[in-house]
């Protein structure tokens, strides 16, 4: 219980930390007011607002990893001040579905549409003419995977290579092509390797319970790997 409490404090510290400094207000001339933590540089000019990484306590999380490790605070403007950028917003449900149909060419596929129709509530989709900022959760990720899997099974019929059992070589090529198409960016080797691991993991395919498993069909194996690409935040957010 104590560890959970400490972790809660750490997360609260991250959320409370702002890239714009601690209550600092900077006017166009560079003067600052309020609760100002900014200091002057050696040239006498006031420095820009400190980023979250500069001002926060170095909290650590599970595995003794720094909670701010790898964090991108923003980008530098022409005055070398950090400008916070709005990043990784979750796609609204209908945008997610439309993008999936566009990429897979699965519009009007009854098997997929039936699942989509009943999934809007799982994503917290607002009523018509209303907007609510989407939020990711375990439910939305699992549902995205289920919808993508059905779409990928349909898509498998259009890819000749997916009629053959995946191996390390063919999976690497197909995963790279698919990820680039789904994410609209070139995937890293680590990202390709993660997709390959899904496509070629015979141990996991053997564990899939009946009546679905054990999985032996080539197209189904490819569909599992394909769905894992759609589950990535590179597709579910923008």
What pLDDT, in 10s, does the model give residues 117-168? 788 888 888 888 888 888 888 999 999 999 999 999 999 999 999 999 999 9
Helix or strand (DSSP H, E) at 138: helix 138-155
Please give the residue that has the higher pLDDT: either 176 or 212: 176
> Tokens 């690497």 identify what position?
172
Both tokens assigned to 76 = 């530098």
Bridging pattern class, strands 75-76 and 24-26: unpaired
The mean pLDDT of 2-27, rounded to a whole number, is 38
Q: Do both 53 and 143 map to the same domain?
A: no
Residues 120 and 32 in one domain: no
What is the tens place of the pLDDT at every residue in 63-110?
777 776 766 656 666 666 666 555 678 898 888 889 999 999 887 677
pLDDT the model gives residue 33: 40
Kindly indicate the confidence band of residue 22, based on its pLDDT and cuts at 50, 70 and 90: very low
Q: Evaluate whether residue 88 is within a structural domain.
A: no
Based on the fold, state whether residues 41 and 143 are members of the same structural domain.
no
In this prediction, residue 120 carries a pLDDT of: 86
Query: Considering the domain boundaries, does residue 62 fall inside one?
Result: yes
- Please name the helix (run of DSSP H) or strand (run of DSSP E) that holds residue 232, with its range, or none: none
Residue 196 lies in a domain: yes
The Cβ of residue 73 has, within 10 Å, a number of other Cβ atoms equal to 18
Q: Domain check: are 109 and 173 in the same one? A: yes
Same domain (yes/no): 116, 227: yes
Q: Is residue 187 a contact partner of residue 180, using CB atoms and an 8 Å limit?
A: yes
Q: Tell me, yes or no, whether 134 and 168 share the same domain.
A: yes
Q: What is the pLDDT of residue 30?
A: 40
**Which residue in the block uniquely carries the two structure tokens 């990202």?**
191
Q: End of a domain among 60, 83, 106?
A: 83
pLDDT of residue 31: 40
Is 206 within the bounds of a domain? Answer: yes
pLDDT exceeds 60 at position 35: no
Residues 101, 109: Cα–Cα separation, whole Å: 9
Q: What is the pLDDT of residue 195?
A: 96
| CB within 8 Å of 112: residues ≥ 6 apart | 106, 147, 150, 151, 154
| Collapsed DSSP state (helix, strand, coil) of residue 46 | strand
* pLDDT at residue 1, as a whole number: 43
**Which residues does 63 contact at the CB level (< 8 Å), separation at least 6?**
none
Residues 131 and 32 in one domain: no
Residues 127, 77, single domain; the answer is no
Residue 31 domain-assigned?
yes
Q: Is residue 146 part of a domain?
A: yes
Let me know whether 179 and 220 are in one domain: yes
Q: According to the model, what pLDDT value does residue 221 have?
A: 96
pTM: 0.64
Domain range enclosing 229 = 93-236
Give domain status of residue 142, yes or no.
Answer: yes
Assess whether 77 and 187 both reside in one domain: no
Q: Tell which wins on pLDDT, 93 or 58.
A: 93
CA distance 81 to 49: 7
Q: Which tens digits make up the pLDDT trace of 177-219?
A: 999 999 999 999 999 999 999 999 999 999 988 888 899 999 9
Residues 100 and 62 in one domain: no
Q: Is 48 left (phi over 0), alpha (psi -120 to 50) or beta?
A: beta
Q: Would you state the structure tokens that stand for residue 236, as one six-digit string?
A: 């579910």
Single out the residue in 83, 114, 133 at which a domain terminates. Answer: 83
The total domain count for the chain is: 2
Is residue 192, in this structure, part of any structural domain at all?
Answer: yes
Confidence band, pLDDT 50/70/90 cuts, at residue 8 = very low
Peptide bond into 214 cis (omega under 30): yes
DSSP E strands: which ranges in the chain?
Answer: 24-26, 32-34, 75-76, 82-83
The pLDDT assigned to 107 comes to 74
Residue 7 has pLDDT above 60, yes or no: no
DSSP H or E run through 23: none
Residue 41 φ/ψ, nearest 5 degrees? -80, 175
**Domain final residue, candidates 63, 83, 103:** 83
Q: Are 59 and 49 in contact (CB under 8 A)?
A: no
Same domain, 11 and 99: no
Beta bridge partners of 60: 66
């Amino acid at each position: 219980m104590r560890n959970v409490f400490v972790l809660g404090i750490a997360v609260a510290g991250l959320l409370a930390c702002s890239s714009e400094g601690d209550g600092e207000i900077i006017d166009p001339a560079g003067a600052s007011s309020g609760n100002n933590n900014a200091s002057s540089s050696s040239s006498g000019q006031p420095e820009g607002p400190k980023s979250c990484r500069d001002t926060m306590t170095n909290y650590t999380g599970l595995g003794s990893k720094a909670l701010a490790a790898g964090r991108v605070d923003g980008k530098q403007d022409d005055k070398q001040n950090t400008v916070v950028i709005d990043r990784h917003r979750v796609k609204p449900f209908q945008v997610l579905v439309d993008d999936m149909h566009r990429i897979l060419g699965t519009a009007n596929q009854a098997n997929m549409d039936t699942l989509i129709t009943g999934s809007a509530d799982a994503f917290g989709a607002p009523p018509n003419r209303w907007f609510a900022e989407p939020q990711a959760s375990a439910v939305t990720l699992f549902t995205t995977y289920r919808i993508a899997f059905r779409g990928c099974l349909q898509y498998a019929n259009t890819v000749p290579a997916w009629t053959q059992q995946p191996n390390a070589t063919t999976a690497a090529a197909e995963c790279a092509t698919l990820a680039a198409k789904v994410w609209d960016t070139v995937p890293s080797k680590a990202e390709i390797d993660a997709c390959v691991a899904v496509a070629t993991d015979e141990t996991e395919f053997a564990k899939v319970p009946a009546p679905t498993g054990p999985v032996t069909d080539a197209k189904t194996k490819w569909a599992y790997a394909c769905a894992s690409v759609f589950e990535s935040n590179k597709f579910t957010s923008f």
